[in-house]
Amino acid sequence: MDSGSADAQSPGGDRAAVKALSDHEIIELIGRGRTLRRAALLELIGRARTDAHLVQPLADLAEDPRLREDRLFHLVSMAWVAIIGLLGIETPGSRAAASRAFAALDPRDQELLLGYLRVERLEDAHPDRV
C-alpha cells in the first residue's frame, strides 16, 4: 500500500487502500498508528457486521488506550467509534464488548458518549436504528 500517493491521501483513497488489506493487516494498522486509523477502523466495523470472528479484535481495539486518546475532534475518540460500531452490530457478544469498552472510558468520557448517543444508559443505544 502506497500511503504517499495522492490517491491514498484523499478520503476515497484511504478507503480504497484499506479495503484491499487483509483483516489481520487492518487490525495491525489500527493499533500501529494514526495515519489511516479511521479508515481502517471503519472498514473493520463493516467487516465485523458480517464476520463474527472480527468482533473480538474490534472489542480489543475498543478498549485500547491509544484509541481512547485518539480524537476525531474534541469529543469523539476512536474508542467511541469502535464502541458505536460494536453496538451497531447488535449481537449479544458485540453489545457486551461495547459495555466493557464503555466501562474502560473515564467517567466524563462515558457521560459525553451517552450524550452523543442521546441515551441515558448504554444499553438503550441502538445506533443503526435511527
| Cβ density class 97-121: b for 16+ within 10 Å, e for less | bbeebbebbeeebeebbbeebeeee
Q: Is the full-model pTM beyond 0.95?
A: no
33-52 per-position pLDDT tens digit: 777 899 999 999 999 999 99
Higher pLDDT, 15 or 83: 83
9-13, 26-30, 54-58: segment of lowest average pLDDT: 9-13
Amino acid at position 53, single letter: H
Say if residue 27's pLDDT is above 60.
yes
Write the DSSP assignment of 51-81 as a string of letters.
-GGGHHHHHHHHT-HHHHH-BSSSS-BHHHH
Say if residue 56's pLDDT is above 90.
yes
| Cell, residue 19 | 479495503
